[in-house]
Chain A
């Protein structure tokens, strides 16, 4: 299983971009990178996922390095409501989409 490594915590000023890094050096060629977040007392919320190319949706952008060993989630204009724990996950291939959540990065957006 591809293990991911994320910083334990990060701060970001409201209105600025939040850049959350993730290392996944053992990722294999057919494994995707997923990002979820969990706001206190709620279930995890899907944000974005990608395989090789950079991806963007209404919530965030995902930048994956060319060697696929790391990625960065970008929240372009962070708000106080983006304060949450952010999880970078690489689901094992052919295990039914099973998700393995690590400890994630606790992002605090400050006024």
Chain B
């Protein structure tokens, strides 16, 4: 079974802090994704990555950056945390299969519920 592991289930940080959310997958997947989930807004894509050191902006990248130094690890960085970044953050991965569009399903971690005070 695919395993996507997010480093923390719950995290509390203060406004202005730099926050790192870590995600690791064990299936040698090429594609990795970061989403946030808010009530009434559903899941929204923040960033994704097709390969090591590659990244693409999603729908709501402002205030975030990402790092993909190793294939199995995809980090989301809140450069200067703000209260409107309080949310559930979800990481996902999928395989590439030689096509930009992959018809393979995404597998999700259990999420990190982040509170910014």
Cβ of A29 < 8 Å from any Cβ of B? no
Total interface residues on B, CB under 8 Å, equals 27
A108 nearest CB across to chain B (Å): 18
The reply to whether B90 and A96 form a contact with Cβ atoms under 8 Å apart is no
Inter-chain contact A102/B109, CB cutoff 8 Å: no
Taking CB atoms and an 8 Å cut-off, the chain B residues in 67-95 that contact chain A are 90, 92, 94
Compute the total of residue contacts between A and B using a CB distance below 8 Å.
Answer: 62
With A49-B105, A99-B43, A99-B106 as given contacts, are A42 and B100 in contact (CB-CB < 8 Å)?
Answer: no
Q: Is the CB of A98 within 8 A of B58?
A: yes
Find chain A residues with CB under 8 A from B104 CB: 97
Q: Which chain B residue shows the least CB distance to A103? A: B42
Q: Is the CB of B103 within 8 A of A44?
A: no
Q: Is B101 a contact partner of A95 (Cβ separation < 8 A)?
A: yes
Q: Which residues of A contact B17 (CB under 8 A)?
A: none
Size of interface on A: residues with Cβ below 8 Å to B: 23
B101: chain A residues at CB < 8 Å are 91, 93-97
Q: Which chain B residues border A95 with CB–CB below 8 Å?
A: 101
Which residues of chain A are near B58, meaning CB under 8 Å? 98
Name which of A43, A99, A104 has the most chain B CB atoms within 10 A of its CB.
A43
Query: Interface on B for A, CB 8 Å cutoff?
Result: 4, 31, 33, 35, 37, 42-43, 45, 48, 50, 56, 58, 90, 92, 94, 100-111
Enumerate the 9 nearest inter-chain pairs by beta-carbon distance, A residue then B residue, closest first.
A43-B108, A101-B43, A46-B105, A97-B102, A101-B42, A94-B101, A43-B110, A44-B108, A43-B111
